[in-house]
Amino acid sequence: MTVRTVFSALLLLALGGCFLQRDTADDQGWSANNRKSWYFATQGSRLMPATWFRAVTLPGGSDFAAADNLARYGFLPAPDGYDRDLPIGFTQDRQDDEPLRVTKLRWYADQQGGTESEPWIGLNCAACHTASMTHDGKAHLIDGGPALIDFQTFVEDLDMALADTRGDPARWEAFAARVLNGRDTPENREMLAAAYDRLLDWQRRTAQMNQTGLRYGAGRLDAVGHILNKVLLFAGADGSAGNAPNAPVSFPHLWDITRQERVQWNGLARNSRFALPGDDFEYGALGRNTGEVLGVFGEVIVTPQPAAAGALIRYASSVRAENLVRMELILSDLRAPDWPADFPPIDRALRDQGEALFVSRHCADCHRPPAAQKPGRPTEVMLPLSKTGPVDLTDIWMACNAFVYQGDTGPMEGVRDNDGQPMGPRAPVAGMLATAVRGALVGQGAELVKAGFNNFFGIRPRPSFEVAPTEPGAFRAADRQACLETQDEEILAYKARPLDGVWATAPYLHNGSVASLEQLLLPADRRKTQFWVGNREFDPVEVGYVDADPGDGRGFLLRTRDESGQVIEGNSNAGHDYGVGSLTDAERRALIEYMKSL
């Protein structure tokens, strides 16, 4: 019996109840039940106990979790009829916390674990991958679209509120009374203070690890950088051992992700699947999404492993693997949104001219149109950095950081990485992440991933150059040169994906540095060097969000150059020229009209 056959049989046993029944779908392909699951299903993210999250206050006593405060960071309220007091993407996780460490907190006597454990608030994919836009007073919710949330400020403000609540006697008194309602004794007050201080210390270490001089603003996050640093923390590193998460990217849209072979802007992870009765099992996505959970408040317990474990290392974790499988099945049904009927109608004749230009100008060579997308074949085209000319090269740091960042392995030392080689005292952090993901999934039981996760973050042995330590956010010329000169390294590339639904995915380029499709089709030296993000009013002519401060506290002025005119590394809007300088205004309008129709 082959490993594949054994694995398939185990999956049927372990996940036999998870295949979804499709019911009536809407224009993006989702039923009401699947949409609700996507918005609120837990993936194992554990930010803080639910009673704590609702009791943390701001100066003046208002709740941090109040709807109007969370809206300041761009989080979207639950639609009418959902009976949820927290926004889309905020989940409640209740699981046996006995194997956990960071989130195994006890703050009152006789507190139970197991099925009686206290619920925790966390986030899931929907928080970052649900878009909302308005036009002429009508709102449009775009499932799987890039959210305009300011995750960086949200976490910073929450950390500040936690610290201030603890340090202000009046606010601490109010917090403790709400959390210990019915259990408010001196002994429980002491337990609560000790548990709170443990969580506060973890948040401080995480914040220290993620220091960067770069502000992301709405709609961008260096998610890979945050995930890599979290792995270092789980491996026992202190807060000073982080690598600067200074390569923010736009939240990618998700409606065609299951038809791509490579995922993330630089193709860092792969989609890989087994054919099973009912639905294919996407084990590559399970690995990728496990990494995502660890980055947004999930937990994995990295412990020394016996030498005999080989590839089957086992780590306890908070990851909810079955829910990740279910959510990926839901995602496979998601379709790109159509240009809304209440927007100015598409000029069909101009659109047809644009389609012809899209082919003749070779846009279709990389961004495959619907007719060129073949079932069962990857829909994306990978563009290696080393083979991309200067006028087409976009900001390299998302790809470069994942390639060069290293860290202390701690209890992972000696564990075989996904190339089968024992890790030394230091290793590429992306390789450590792949190992942590593998251990977390094997730890799910039923030999869930006895084979198949070597595809996740396909890290090859690194070149011999040494990376000099720098201040957080500093420009690293040596790293840049090493990345651009390295040949045949798969993750040193950027992905050209199909443009289905591209009209709903502003701002553009992988790092969100270009405001609109109109701006993207200009030569780089004519693009705006600053524009406002956070405004949800849509401009159907330039095809992007209106460049104006929304005036509700969510606006952020994104700058691609500093006051001296120098490029801000991580924010560069250069590249992706491909001859746009020779376009006439009429040709530019025709191409935009065509892209509206995709």
Q: What is the tens place of the pLDDT at every residue in 491-530?
A: 898 999 999 999 999 999 999 999 999 999 999 999 999 9
- For 418, the token pair is 């996904």
Average confidence score pLDDT of the chain: 87
More confidently predicted of 88 and 327:
88
* Band (158; pLDDT cuts 50, 70, 90): very high
Neighbours of 561 (CB within 10 A): 14
HSE of 153, CA atoms in CB hemisphere, 13 A: 21
Mean of the pLDDT values across residues 99-125? Answer: 93
Mean of the pLDDT values across residues 227-246? Answer: 92
Mean of the pLDDT values across residues 94-122? Answer: 93
pLDDT at residue number 445:
58
pLDDT at residue number 565:
93
Mean pLDDT check: name the lowest of 256-270, 534-548, 570-584: 256-270
pLDDT at residue number 472:
45
Mean of the pLDDT values across residues 92-119? Answer: 93
Interval 43-93: pLDDT, tens: 999 999 999 999 999 998 999 999 999 999 999 999 988 889 999 999 999
Distances (CA, A) of 176 to 48, 103, 196: 15, 19, 10
More confidently predicted of 313 and 4:
313
Task: State how far Cα 377 lies from the chain centre.
Answer: 25
Burial label, 184 (beta-carbon count in 10 A; 0-12, 13-18, 19+): middle
pLDDT at residue number 455:
35
- Here the contacts of 194-198 (C-beta below 8 Å, separation 24 or greater) are 194/107, 195/105, 195/106, 195/107, 196/52, 196/107, 196/162, 196/166, 197/166, 198/105
Are 597 and 370 in contact, with CB atoms under 8 Å apart? Answer: no
pLDDT at residue number 447:
39
On the question of pLDDT at 263 being above 90, the answer is: no
pLDDT at residue number 10:
39
* Band (24; pLDDT cuts 50, 70, 90): low
User: In degrees rounded to 5, what are phi and psi of residue 132?
Assistant: -140, 135
On the question of pLDDT at 344 being above 50, the answer is: yes
On the question of pLDDT at 282 being above 60, the answer is: no
* Band (452; pLDDT cuts 50, 70, 90): very low
pLDDT at residue number 186:
97
* Band (542; pLDDT cuts 50, 70, 90): very high
Are 586 and 357 in contact, with CB atoms under 8 Å apart? Answer: no
* Core vs surface per residue 469-501: b (16+ CB within 10 A) or e: eeebbeebeebbebbeebeebbbbbbbbbbbbb
pLDDT at residue number 273:
55
Distance CA 483, CA 492 (A): 7
Task: State how far Cα 425 lies from the chain centre.
Answer: 28
On the question of pLDDT at 558 being above 90, the answer is: yes
Closest to 92 measured CA to CA, from 46, 126, 128: 46
Mean pLDDT check: name the lowest of 155-164, 317-326, 531-540: 317-326
On the question of pLDDT at 402 being above 90, the answer is: no
On the question of pLDDT at 281 being above 60, the answer is: no
Mean of the pLDDT values across residues 322-340? Answer: 90
More confidently predicted of 432 and 463:
432
Distance CA 189, CA 191 (A): 5
Residues written for the chain? 598
HSE of 432, CA atoms in CB hemisphere, 13 A: 35
Beta-strand relationship, 273-274 and 269-270:
unpaired
Mean pLDDT check: name the lowest of 45-59, 91-105, 215-229, 480-494: 480-494
